[in-house]
Amino acid sequence: MSDSWVNSAERAGSDLHLDLSGPGSRRSVLMGALRDAIRSGRLAPGTRLPPYRSLAADLGLARNTVAAAYAELIAEGWLTARQGSGTRVAQRAEPRKPTRAPKEARSVPAPVHNLRQGQPDAASFPRTAWLAAARRAINAAPNEAFGPGDPQGRPELRRALADYLSRVRGVRARPDQIVICSGFAHALRLLFPGVLRGPLAVESYGLAFHRELLHQASIRTVPLELDEHGPRVDELPSRKGVRAVLLTPAHQFPTGGPLHPARRAAVVDWARARDGLVLEDDYDGEFRYDREPVGAVQGLDPDRVLYIGSVSKSLSPAVRLGWMVLPEHLVDDVLAVKGEREAWASVLDQLTLADFVDSGHYDRHVRRMRQRYRRRRDQLVARLLERAPQVTATGVAAGLHAVLRLPPGSERSAVAAAARRGLALDGLAGFRHPDATMPAMDGLVVGYATPPEHAYASALDVLVDALAELTGLR
Ligand SMILES: Cc1ncc(COP(=O)(O)O)c(C=O)c1O
């Protein structure tokens, strides 16, 4: 492995964290960023750099730009290139010795590897196809599209989504039941407390940010236990005053399993009997690796299930577009909260996404990313088997993250061992509902989609090193 550029020196293969925001040509900005990384010691002498093609892809630059930057830095003496051994940081380019160690460097280093869950591989955003879709969509848009936006969302996008969601996720939707928003968090803000009031049943493990949003809207959340079949929806009838439940049925967030088929039916029956509502958070439903995706629960009863999706996992959280497929009787209430004009979701981005979906680029991108994430998932499982066989990865059949279950009491030391090696990742504790009564689970949530391609293998190396250090696992 010492030949591999991702493994040759202490920091090699880490996400290079190059700041390319400065003024000037892309080439000179990249050269400046590489010089800074070498001067500061982040790129140590001897470190092998990624092949210019990979770095170009990860940074979204033209290959020529990166090749030219490498060539100039070689000419300046910062880098060396030898046939068969790639491009490396020159031995004589000594890092400047800091006169005084920065505060945090003395205790825990700033993370250089990132396996935190929550985002797709940002380097894979389909820039060219997105730009082409934007160009086509803006050229074809009628003049009225450039006036104030309809708060329900562009009809082009609602039509495209109705078709896509029914084809891919088994959602039963007509365009007039869809309301566009800027993502799942925005959907929660629109629904609570303007349309729905608490208390709301939720899963015992979930995203703290969403719990906080609900708390700010004065909504009391009531946790349901989780077991190997997902949330215990059989607890719903005994939860006083609860008429709505928020679930992640395709892939429980963050623990990972799908909701058992019997429970899918049971929760819909409960909603019918209680005149209640199921809120379905389908945040990564398209990413399923070992069999066909599990369809949305919404397909079982569109009058009782409110379906919410966004492009944050499939495309990018930077796009800020999402959608609600509403039971008919709630459409007007949601529109009343949204107001007279679209104030959140850019109409131009909506038109672009509509074209992106209709032209097949969305399906193609999801397919490509599914292959990439499956490969990364397989690499994670293989590395664990090889270096930390005591640790099992769970929730790996789908999604962009896995949970590594750990013996009770060992989670904090595992997170700390990773942090000491410059690896950022989360433990399960941060996802636990403060009122949960089920036994606590120890585990690491590994976002295997997060790093760019060039940084993934070394992030895994650091992860298994950190796990190997835990005595309880031997
Ligand atoms: C559980 C869960 N739901 C929904 C989302 C999507 O959130 P948003 O659309 O607000 O970016 C995420 C994050 O991407 C998530 O982790």
Task: To the nearest 10°, report the CA torsion of 82, 451, 286, 253.
Answer: 160
pLDDT at 474 over 60: no
Pocket test of ligand 1: the residue of 116, 204, 211, 313 to mutate, having most ligand atoms within 8 Å of its CB, is: 313
pLDDT at 5 over 70: no
Question: Dihedrals φ, ψ of 201, to 5°?
Answer: -80, 140
Q: Indicate if ligand 1 lies below 6 Å from the C-beta of 311.
A: no
Enter the tokens of residue 41: 């010691």
pLDDT at 3 over 50: no
Task: To the nearest 10°, report the CA torsion of 177, 183, 184, 188.
Answer: -80
Band (pLDDT 50/70/90 cuts) for residue 99 is: low
Higher pLDDT, 215 or 294: 215
Q: Indicate if ligand 1 lies below 6 Å from the C-beta of 205.
A: no
Q: What is the dotted CATH code of the domain comprising 26-99?
A: 1.10.10.10
Contact 387, 419 (CB under 8 A): no
Pocket test of ligand 1: the residue of 121, 184, 221, 287 to mutate, having most ligand atoms within 8 Å of its CB, is: 184
Residue that is written with structure tokens 């934007």 in the block: 134
Residue 102 CA to ligand 1 centre (angstroms): 35
pLDDT, mean of residues 64-86: 86
Neighbour-count burial for 54-82, b at 16+ CB within 10 Å, e otherwise: bbbbbbebeeebbbbbbebbeeeebbbee
Sorted by where each begins, the domain ranges of the chain are 26-99, 114-125+363-473, 127-359
Band (pLDDT 50/70/90 cuts) for residue 89 is: confident
Neighbour-count burial for 27-52, b at 16+ CB within 10 Å, e otherwise: bebbbbbbbebbeeebbbbebbbbbb
Helix pair 361-387, 127-140: axis angle to 10 deg: 160
In this prediction, residue 38 carries a pLDDT of 84
Superfamily of domain 114-125+363-473: Aspartate Aminotransferase, domain 1 (3.90.1150.10)
Q: Indicate if ligand 1 lies below 6 Å from the C-beta of 322.
A: yes
Pocket test of ligand 1: the residue of 283, 323, 428 to mutate, having most ligand atoms within 8 Å of its CB, is: 283
Nearest Cα to 456, choosing from 366, 370, 368, 379?
379
Enter the tokens of residue 396: 């790996």
Contact 121, 451 (CB under 8 A): yes
Band (pLDDT 50/70/90 cuts) for residue 6 is: very low
Q: One-letter amino acid identity for 38?
A: I
Per residue in 331-363, pLDDT tens? 999 999 999 999 999 999 999 999 999 999 999
Question: Dihedrals φ, ψ of 355, to 5°?
Answer: -65, -40
Band (pLDDT 50/70/90 cuts) for residue 12 is: very low
User: 127-359 adopts what CATH topology?
Assistant: Aspartate Aminotransferase; domain 2 (3.40.640)
Cis peptide leading into residue 23 (ω within 30°): no
In this prediction, residue 98 carries a pLDDT of 53
Higher pLDDT, 229 or 17: 229
3-class SS of residue 247: strand
CA distance 106 to 244: 49
pLDDT at 401 over 60: yes
Could you tell me how far CA 247 lies from the centroid of its own chain?
18
pLDDT at 314 over 90: yes
Band (pLDDT 50/70/90 cuts) for residue 217 is: very high
Q: Indicate if ligand 1 lies below 6 Å from the C-beta of 120.
A: no
Averaged pLDDT score across all residues of the chain: 91
pLDDT, mean of residues 68-84: 86
Q: Indicate if ligand 1 lies below 6 Å from the C-beta of 207.
A: yes
List of E strands, 263-325: 277-281, 305-310, 322-325
Q: Indicate if ligand 1 lies below 6 Å from the C-beta of 312.
A: yes
pLDDT at 130 over 90: yes
The answer to whether 26-99 and 127-359 have equal CATH topology is no
Alpha helices in 256-325 (DSSP H): 261-274
Residue 201 CA to ligand 1 centre (angstroms): 18
Higher pLDDT, 143 or 10: 143
